[in-house]
Structure 1
Amino acid sequence: MLNAERLISESDAYDLALVILLAHPVAGARPISGAGGPLHVEFQRGSAIGCSLSISFGAMRREEARGAGRHAPTETVLVQQPRIEICWSSTGRSVATATAAIALYREVTELAALIAARLEGETIGVRERALVAKAEEASR
């Protein structure tokens, strides 16, 4: 069953993703968009090494039971699911550049996995709300 207590709004989810990005900085990060909407961050290390991380939401149909028992009636609900995508550039590279690119891709992939794990139905805790408020205050 859908646990309504564990659902968070899209804007809270974006805020949580921003908090995670701020708490786990990756060199060369440059936010392209965000602030309550789809979040897109580019990571650039030199001219030949780059990737991006995008977080958006998409509706997913899900059947939910409305009662108990095996033959309980169900209803179709739309659930907003986070969609996290990583894109990277693909150009010819020397061994040194390829090694640096792999290190960047691994760092961004680990960051994306952390964000995905936290967004997987979790609520935003008191600590995260305080960090979001602090980040908003600092940006003013």
Structure 2
Amino acid sequence: MSKMMIVNLPVRDLSASTAFYVALGGTVNAQFSGEKSTSLMFSDSVGVMLLTHDHYNEFTQRPIGDARRDSQVMIVLTVGDRDTVDATLASAVAAGGRADPNPAQDLGFMYNRHVEDPDGYVWEIVWMNLQG
């Protein structure tokens, strides 16, 4: 089995967050989803698990921070071209996200923008020209 990366996120409103992450490009994995969580896959090896606060608290004794107030993590999602950066951001905003909480960057070989999910987690949507 190849290695996978799954990001677990506590969310306030599971339905709203699921809609946001589907708009961001995730596909719901029904096998690992239910009333208290939604599993979304962005590729064969990258996933996001959304957990209600009560369910998330079953796995940790630490308090859940407020991502709207404190920067906790910035997660990068790469896409295939510059236009897809803007299209992905527009789709995520239409599903409840907030566009550009951080300034966009256009370095020629790399273009990125940010979108904040309904709970305040920031996703950086990036295109990079790896051919140089």
Q: Same fold (TM over 0.5)?
A: no
Between Structure 1 and Structure 2, the one with more helix by share is 1
